Amino acid sequence: MATRDIKLVYPASSAVTITLDSLATSSTLLIGRQSTLIDNTIGYEDYLLSGVIKVSAVSGLVAGLIEIHIVTMQDDDLWPVNFTGIDGNITIASLNYKYQICHPAAVIATDTTVGLTYPFGQISIASLFGGICPKKFLVFVTQSTGKSLYASDSTIKINPVYHTMVF
């Protein structure tokens, strides 16, 4: 009789399409950048989110925050107000609205060291939603370092995860 094992599979990670180069600072953390849509209709059980964010190499940084959030579609084809699933700048109307639609994946406290790279991850997307990975989602990043992010070297990646049966 054949032995059956259930094993986790981690296909190759891929870069999230989000232009973080020169992302402006937002003292209210309501202005940021959204990624393109991440479509999970293939049905991966989870994605692991990770990355590095590099702050400005120009003096004048303030101790602030870099926030990485996950935003899901409200239904099959409707995003929350102002979100589109297309890489671009976005402004959220209020903190109350932000708290309703943005699921914090990582919050990075920064200091005043110029040009520093801050890593984060790996964060389970499914864990942010009670163990079930959303069908369609995007990444939203905002920051309050007092300066724009560094013009390069910031990346966010996702790594899909699923189970398979091995005979």
Asked if residues 163 and 46 have their Cβ atoms less than 8 Å apart, the reply is: no
pLDDT (0 to 100) of residue 75:
86
Alpha-carbon span 35 to 23, nearest angstrom = 13
Asked if residues 68 and 10 have their Cβ atoms less than 8 Å apart, the reply is: no
Asked if residues 158 and 49 have their Cβ atoms less than 8 Å apart, the reply is: yes
Asked if residues 126 and 46 have their Cβ atoms less than 8 Å apart, the reply is: yes
pLDDT in tens, 153-167: 899 999 999 988 887
CB count, 10 Å around CB of 126?
17
pLDDT (0 to 100) of residue 2:
62
Average pLDDT value for residue range 131-155? 93
Supply φ then ψ for residue 128, to 5 degrees: -75, -15
Q: How is residue 161 written in tokens?
A: 């995860």
- What is the DSSP secondary structure assignment for residue 7, as one 8-state letter? E
Partners of residue 161 on adjacent β-strands: 46
Go through the domains of the chain in sequence order and give each one's CATH number: 5-166 (2.60.120)
Asked if residues 56 and 149 have their Cβ atoms less than 8 Å apart, the reply is: yes
pLDDT in tens, 86-123: 999 999 999 999 999 999 999 999 999 999 999 998 99
pLDDT (0 to 100) of residue 52:
96
- Torsion angle of alpha carbons 58, 59, 65, 71, nearest 10°? -20
pLDDT in tens, 43-96: 899 999 999 999 998 899 999 999 999 999 988 889 998 999 999 999 999 999
- What SS3 state is found at 88? strand
Query: Which string of DSSP letters, residue by residue, matches 126-146?
Result: GGGGTT---SEEEEEEEE-SS
- pTM as predicted: 0.94
